[in-house]
Amino acid sequence: MNPEQRRDVPPSAERTVPFSLWIVLVGLVLAAIVVFGFWRDTDENRSHVHLMRGHSHFQKQDYNNAIAAYDEALRLDPKSFDAYVNRGLTYYWKDDFPRAIADFNQAIAINTNSASAYYQRGQSRFQQGEYDTALADASKAIALKPDWPDGYHLRASIYGEQKEHDKAIADCDKTLALQPDDASIYLIRGFSFLQQRKHERAIADYDKGISMRPTDAYAHYERGRAYLETEQLGRALADFDQAIDFKPDHDDAYVLRGVTHSKTKEYDKAIADFDRAIALKPSSATAFFNRAMVWQERREYGRALADVEKGLKLKPDDANAHYVKALACDGLNRTDEALAAYRRFIEHAGTNSSEQIEFARKRLNDLEAK
């Protein structure tokens, strides 16, 4: 999943005053009703009191008490659209997406014309990887409120995950037309340009995003990827350094910084980065494969084979891993294993590996001729 996943926009998005000010105004109104004797002790009014308490807890990130308050609001008024939406939003921030979706379903059943409810349900579905239904919700939010940038923002993220990068870029453009100071949308558009290998445009977008959010680890990591793919290794290293400074547990940044060090033949630094990546994420097949390649470059074939075997347990069909395994076995004079690995590599290799395929076929012929 694209790391740039915006998690915001409370139900107040459809209001014209800030959320915190809205709470204050409603609190003053309720206080005036009580002071001047206009209070009517009805379930609906008492539900609103608990709704406001829930908002207060939510603002303090006290999500459990917020949910308790919204529960009571709904007990008193089971048709409270605001209570369902706000409780759903609270579940969302607790990463309890199924419950969030259930509440947004209830809210939409009460009010089928709320762009915010469709948007929030789409966000929750997006977080769960349910891209088709998330896309339907984002499109519905846009249809209901075509001048609201958040719907386009969400849909751009979904299209990016679906590899529909032209559509993602078009929605990013629409978002920026409505909200040109949105740093995150530059990062999403940059991601799509990068997937299309339009490196200059990707870097330009990352530059813009970083100028607005200079401490964003994701932005530096992605720009570093663009620099690495265009062999601008010094700039790539600088960005990976920044990504790690801002997010010390960024395992992917360690992996790509290690790859960059290996390209500059700084093998000790590369191994140190792969070691750190594996410590942070022991299930990272990519880190094992890349460390194996460094051991291979250093002709430490036993270590290369040990790492590639660990990686293949995690990702058994990785073509490049079988290539590295073949080289390691070849270096160790384990002919039968080398032959099997070369054949497995050729079987799984794509069209981008033509030089390696040619070498593998040559080695197969040489080894079979012995």
Residue 335 counted as domain residue = no
Question: d(Cα 168, Cα 137) in Å, to the nearest integer?
Answer: 16
Q: What pLDDT is attached to residue 44?
A: 76
C-alpha 232/C-alpha 229 separation (Å) is 8
Question: Is 196 part of a structural domain of the chain?
Answer: no
Number of compact structural domains in the chain:
1
Does any domain span residue 132?
yes
pLDDT in tens, the chain (370 residues): 443 444 443 333 333 334 444 444 455 455 555 544 555 667 777 888 888 898 899 999 999 999 999 999 999 999 999 999 999 999 999 999 999 999 999 999 999 999 999 999 999 999 999 999 999 999 999 999 999 999 999 999 999 999 999 999 999 999 999 999 999 999 999 999 999 999 999 999 999 999 999 999 999 999 999 999 999 999 999 999 999 999 999 999 999 999 999 999 999 999 999 999 999 999 999 999 999 999 999 999 999 999 999 999 999 989 889 999 999 999 999 999 999 999 999 888 877 678 889 998 999 998 888 7
State the pLDDT at residue 355. 86
240 inside domain: no
What are the structure tokens assigned to 324, written together? 């590295």
Whether 46 maps to a domain, the answer reads: yes
Distance CA 89, CA 12 (A): 11
CATH at residue 40: 1.25.40.10
Long-range CB contacts for residues 187-191, cutoff 8 Å, separation at least 24: 187/4, 187/216, 187/218, 187/219, 187/222, 188/2, 188/4, 188/153, 188/156, 188/157, 188/160, 189/156, 190/222, 190/223, 190/226, 191/2, 191/4, 191/160, 191/222
pTM over 0.85: no
Is the residue at 360 inside a domain?
no
Give the domain extent around 82: 1-180
| pLDDT number for residue 180 | 94
In-domain check, residue 107: yes
**Interatomic CA distance for residues 236 and 186, integer angstroms:** 19
Is residue 162 a part of any domain in this protein? yes
Integer-rounded Cα Rg, in Å, for the chain is 27
Q: Say what the pLDDT of residue 17 is.
A: 38
